[in-house]
Amino acid sequence: MVKRALMRLPGRIFKKRGMNTVNHKIRIGIYGYGNLGRGVELAVSQNSDMELAAVFTRRAPDSVQLLTAGVPVYSAQDVEQYKDMVDVMILCGGSATDLPNQTPRLASLFHVVDSFDTHARIPEHFAAVDAAAKLGGTVALISCGWDPGLFSLNRLVAGAVLPEGRDYTFWGKGISQGHSDAIRRIQGVQDAKQYTIPVEAAMDAVRRGEMPELSTRQKHIRECFVVAAPGADCAAIEAEIKTMPNYFADYDTIVHFVSQEELNEKHGGMPHGGFVIRSGKTASGSHHIVEYSLKLDSNPEFTGSVLTAYARAVARLAQEGASGCKTVFDIAPAYLSPKSGEELRASLL
């Protein structure tokens, strides 16, 4: 297994497979070319130790136009043929139906990274991917991105340093795809965008060290920009949004009706972000606040950048002969950087 993993890694001579070249760059594959796939593509272009080897799509490959010149697009169903072209495959499908199948299947063939974000189902996803990766002798990193991902990392570290305390995670201000979709399914709605907004007063109470018990309603506001179809009943739409169980009923929800032009112009981006705050006490009673926050112009581009940095770590772990499923908790930070240990200690410590 170790031998096989090593053979497929950057900087090695691929004689046996007819690729008689020394390739010093990490060859990244993108599996699924939507917003997140394009985010990964942009991130790879910023990392000189990486190159985009191929993109795999379920659409007709000819119909897909990449941002990067000279990179082949292949059909997702033929992916097995390209095993030796890709060092790390970054899976850019959705968590609901794509990744539960794709990640275990591809982990048997490739070193992989995914962004599986259904928190409650992570243990079963981990088990399925771990079994496949161990069989395949590959390294598979799941649930990467910012939440799960960088936020999880900060929850872990702050909780280990301050074992007596409380974690608070706030999301936003940002577009929630799921909530926007839910509004679009309402009769009479032509288009919609929904912003999740953290409640400043709640964050300030947490930052003051008050350790409040916060209800769903006290943590986030939901603000909706809705384009009504011609002749639709706006009052009925607003009522249906505000009483929608799970999505809106437990929140203070604000609904604005706007034109399609205004929606496109002012709400066309995919900003997001959030805050992880640990409020804790040392044994003397001294109080400490650890806060981590993200303010992102583009959620998929930033998420793609996180996946790409972790793909570097996966390539290195594979080079060391590791196999099995990993999460951000298992990755020593130095593996994320192209710099050597010496450079890191001299410049960043």
Residues lying near a second copy in the complex (CB under 8 A): 39, 42-43, 45-47, 119, 122-123, 126, 143, 148, 150, 152-157, 159-164, 207, 282-284, 286-298, 301-302, 304-306, 309, 312, 327-334, 336-338, 341-342, 344-346, 348-349
Phi, psi of 201 (to 5 degrees): -60, -35
Shortest Cβ 216–a second copy spacing (Å): 19
Q: 158 or 224: whose CB is closer to a second copy?
A: 158
Return d(Cα 80, Cα 75) in angstroms, integer: 10
Q: 39 or 222: whose CB is closer to a second copy?
A: 39
Return d(Cα 114, Cα 31) in angstroms, integer: 10
| Whether the bond into 173 is cis, omega within 30 of 0 | yes
Shortest Cβ 96–a second copy spacing (Å): 18
Q: What one-character-per-residue DSSP string does 332-347 give? A: -GGGGSSS-HHHHHHH
Q: 15 or 209: whose CB is closer to a second copy?
A: 209
Q: 54 or 150: whose CB is closer to a second copy?
A: 150
Shortest Cβ 103–a second copy spacing (Å): 15
Q: Which amino acid is at 17?
A: R
Q: 114 or 238: whose CB is closer to a second copy?
A: 114
Shortest Cβ 44–a second copy spacing (Å): 9
Shortest Cβ 125–a second copy spacing (Å): 10
Shortest Cβ 113–a second copy spacing (Å): 13
Shortest Cβ 245–a second copy spacing (Å): 26
Going through the chain in order, the beta strands assigned E by DSSP cover 13-14, 19-22, 26-31, 50-57, 73-75, 88-91, 111-113, 139-141, 165-171, 174-175, 189-198, 220-228, 252-257, 272-281, 287-296, 324-326
Q: 234 or 329: whose CB is closer to a second copy?
A: 329
At 99, is the secondary structure helix, strand, or coil? helix
Compute the Cα dihedral for 235, 237, 238, 240 and give only its sign. Answer: positive
Q: 77 or 284: whose CB is closer to a second copy?
A: 284
Q: 238 or 301: whose CB is closer to a second copy?
A: 301
Find the helix or strand (DSSP H, E) in which 41 lies.
helix 35-45
Q: Cβ distance 319 to 9 under 8 Å?
A: yes
Shortest Cβ 227–a second copy spacing (Å): 25
**Residue by residue, what is the 3-state secondary structure of 168-224?**
EEEECCEECHHHHHHHHCCCCEEEEEEEEEECHHHHHHHHCCCCCCCCHHHHEEEEE
